[in-house]
Each structure stands twice: as C-alpha cells, then as structure tokens.
Structure 1
Amino acid sequence: MTIYSLFILSKSGGLIYHHDHNIPTIEQEKTFSYPLEVKLDVQNRNIVVAYGQRDGIKVGHTLVAVNGLKVTGTQMDDGRHALKVLEDENNYPISLKFARPKLTTNEKIFQASMFYPLYALACQLSPEQRSSGIEVLEADIFRMNCFQTLTGVKFMLISDQKQGSVDALLHRVYELYTDYALKNPFYSLEMPIRCELFDEHLKSTLEQAERSGISNI
C-alpha cells in the first residue's frame, strides 16, 4: 500500500496540520516541433501549461527541463530565459519535460476549507439522522478516508486507490494526536499543531502501516 498524505482539520474547518508522506513525481518528457502545440504562460514565477494538452502533459503542469537542462522558475541552468529559447524556431526540435506541480501551503489550506462545507452538505443530504458525513471518497488514482472525532476534529488520509480500510490507522493517528498535542497545556483545538514528538511518531506509524499492513497497526 502507499500512503500519500495526512490532513487534520479543526472543528471550524481550518487546516491545523498536514504531512506529505509519499508524493508521487509525475513527469512527462516529449520532443516538440515548431510551433509548440501547447501554450505556455508564467504563473507564480513558474512556466506552466496554460492551454492545450497531449501525451499526459496537461494544463497546470510546470516546465522543469529544456533539452535536459533544469528549469528553475523561468530560468534554465545555463542562465537563459526558457521562454526566449522556446520562441526561437532555430532551437527546434526541442525536448521539454513537464511535471505536476506540488501544492503550496496556501493551496492546501484552501483545499481544507473547501472540504468543510462539502462534509456539512453531505450530513444534511443524508436520509439518516446524525449522519457521519463523508467517510470515504474514491477517485481513479487515490482514496480519501475521513474520521471525525467527537470534538469535530477531522483526520483525512490520502492513500492509493486499491487500499482497503484504514480505520485502525486513523484511530491510531487520533491517539497520537491526543497524546502529544492535546496534552500540551499550551495547545488549543484551533491552533496549528507544532510538535516534534507528534511528527516523529506519526511518521513512524505511517511507515509501519505501509510495511506491515493496516490490520497490524
């Protein structure tokens, strides 16, 4: 099994903790002729695909290399501006490598805030009273499991799509949360979790889950 990441949301829906455990690197390298079949633009200081897609290269993917030379932001390792190189027809055919960008902290906070109203809406739409809301969300390449505590704190685990039940693992993470976060006299429920012991034990628990299987946690 593969565990990708863990999110902890406060009762009000704010992101108070996130841990990236295994973030897959998705890269596509293709040779292009002139003119480019995709439109590139500068967004957040990076060169990204703004329009068009082909062979796994999709809108939002970031340019990371040109002819094997790494691209950082908009600049290649040899000091040239990547877009200037791509504008010159004499440089074609040209090999470009694109990668799916990593989420920034602000983007993770935004996603957490979006999940909160979806969870509340699921509770309201349920024909059963006292619905537990969204417990499992399945996509084509990943699965999200959500466990809500009695205090309203939510634990969201992102794992590979084929992974079975992770209830035991989520409850174990909750135990770590109560042992190392809640017992801290300087911590309150809405505060971000900043605890080295919690970080260490969480990482160890997730690694053990991947090695031995959820049933042994």
Structure 2
Amino acid sequence: MIIYGVYIVSKSGGLIFNLDNNVPRIEHEKTFTYPLDLVLDYDPKKVSVAFNRKDGINVGHVLVAVNGLPVNGGTIEDGRDVKATLESADNFPINLKFSRPKMTTNEKIFLASMFYPLFAIASQLSPEPKSSGIELLEADTFTLHCFQTLTGVKFIVISETGLNGMDLLLRKVYELYSDYVLKNPFYSLEMPIRCELFDNKLQELLLQVEKTGINNIDK
C-alpha cells in the first residue's frame, strides 16, 4: 500500500500544506542513434522532453545524464554544452538518461489552484443536487482522493491505484488537522500550515497505513 502524498487546499483554493511521502524516482535510460527522435526544450535550468515519447520517456521528463555523465542545467559534467552535443552526428550513438522531474513548490501551488475550479465545475455539472464535487479521480498510475470539510477546506491524498477505504484515511488526516492545527490560537485558516507536531503525526499515520493497512489505523 503506497501513499504518494498529502495536500491541503484552503477554502479559497490556496495550497496551505503538502507532504511528499513515497514518490518513486522514475528513470529511463536508452541509447539513441542520429537524429534524435525526441524534441527537447533547452531551458537554461533543465533540458526536458517537449514532444514525442519513447520507451517510457514522456513529455516533461528531464535529461539527467549523457553517456553516464550527470547533466546540470544545459551543461554536461565535463563542460560540454548539451544542445551542441546532441545536435552533432559525430557524438552518436549516445546514451541518454531521463527522469521524471520533482515538482517545485510553485508547481504544486499552481496545480492546487487548478484543482479548485475543477472541483467547483464538477459540483455544478453533477445531475445530483448538492453534489460534494470530486471525491475520486482515477488515472492509470495513481488515484486522487478528496474530502471537503463543511468550511470548504479540501484534504487530498494521492495513492497507488486499487486502494479501498481511503475515506477513512482522509477523515483521520482531518482529525489530526483539527487536533494539532486548528487548536493553535495563532493559526489562521488561510495561512500555510507550519506545525512540526502535525507533520510528525501525519508521517506516523501514513507509515502505519502502509505497513498495516487502512482498517488498522485506529488500533
């Protein structure tokens, strides 16, 4: 049982807490011939796949090594420019390693702000009156579980697919939030959550869930 992360979104749509719990580092290494059949975006901070996909290497994956040498931004460890190296036929065949990038804090804030209107749209599109919005979003590699409180705060858990009873885990996270965050007299609902005790208790909860299962979290 794998829990990838926990996110808390305020009633106004701002990301006020996130925890990366068990995010695997996905890497794909392949030897390419000339010309390179991936379209790359050569940003000064990173070289990433802009178009096409091949053998698990997808759009957005970042180049991390060339012939075993680490890549830092647009430069290989030996000082060569990545773009110039990959545009020269003399350097092929060439071994390239790509990795799924780790999301930055700004990217997480952006995604949280995108989820907020999607949640509202889902509530309005539902044929059922007083719809609670998105509670479950399934993809081929992960599942998103969402629980919204009466005050509009959203608790989101990202997990592997096929897990049951996640509503119990979401409510347990909410209990920890109520006990260790809301009872703090210096905390405001729209503020980012910075509570070491809440962090520790949440990590203990996720560890217990991964080891013993959701049905045993209260034991």
| CA positional deviation for 1:32 | 0.8
Point out the more displaced range, 140-149 or 52-61: 52-61
Q: Distance in 2 between matches of 1:135 and 1:51?
A: 32
Equivalent positions of 1:1-217 (< 5 A) are 1-43=1-43, 45-217=45-217
SS where residue 190 of structure 1 aligns?
A: coil
Cα–Cα, structure 1 residues 152 and 44, in superposed 2: closer, same or farther, change >3 Å?
A: farther
Read off the aligned partner of 1:15 and give its amino acid letter: L
SS where residue 170 of structure 1 aligns?
A: helix
Q: Distance in 2 between matches of 1:91 and 1:143?
A: 42
What is the RMSD of the two structures over their aligned residues, measured on CA atoms?
A: 1.3
SS where residue 110 of structure 1 aligns?
A: helix
SS where residue 172 of structure 2 aligns?
A: helix
SS where residue 168 of structure 1 aligns?
A: helix
| CA positional deviation for 1:44 | 6.0
Task: Give ranges in structure 1 of 5+ residues lacking alignment.
Answer: none
Q: Distance in 1 between matches of 2:88 and 2:130?
A: 63
Q: Distance in 2 between matches of 1:166 and 1:99?
A: 29
SS where residue 103 of structure 1 aligns?
A: coil
SS where residue 202 of structure 1 aligns?
A: helix
Q: 1:127-179 CA distances to partner (integer Å, 9 max, x unpaired)?
A: 22222111111111111110111111110000001211211111111111111
SS where residue 137 of structure 1 aligns?
A: strand
Q: 1:173-204 CA distances to partner (integer Å, 9 max, x unpaired)?
A: 11111111111111111110011111111111
Q: What is the TM-score normalised by the length of structure 1?
A: 0.95
| 8 Å Cα contact 2:17/2:193 also seen in 1 | yes
Q: What percent identity do the matched residue pairs reach?
A: 62
Q: What is the TM-score normalised by the length of structure 2?
A: 0.95
Q: Distance in 1 between matches of 2:69 and 2:130?
A: 56
Point out the more displaced range, 165-174 or 72-81: 72-81
| CA positional deviation for 1:80 | 2.2
Cα–Cα, structure 1 residues 189 and 44, in superposed 2: closer, same or farther, change >3 Å?
A: farther
Q: Distance in 2 between matches of 1:105 and 1:111?
A: 10
SS where residue 4 of structure 1 aligns?
A: strand
Q: Distance in 2 between matches of 1:66 and 1:199?
A: 38
Read off the aligned partner of 1:105 and give its amino acid letter: T
Task: Give ranges in structure 2 of 5+ residues lacking alignment.
Answer: none
Read off the aligned partner of 1:50 and give its amino acid letter: A
Q: Which runs of 4+ in 1 moved over 3 A?
A: none
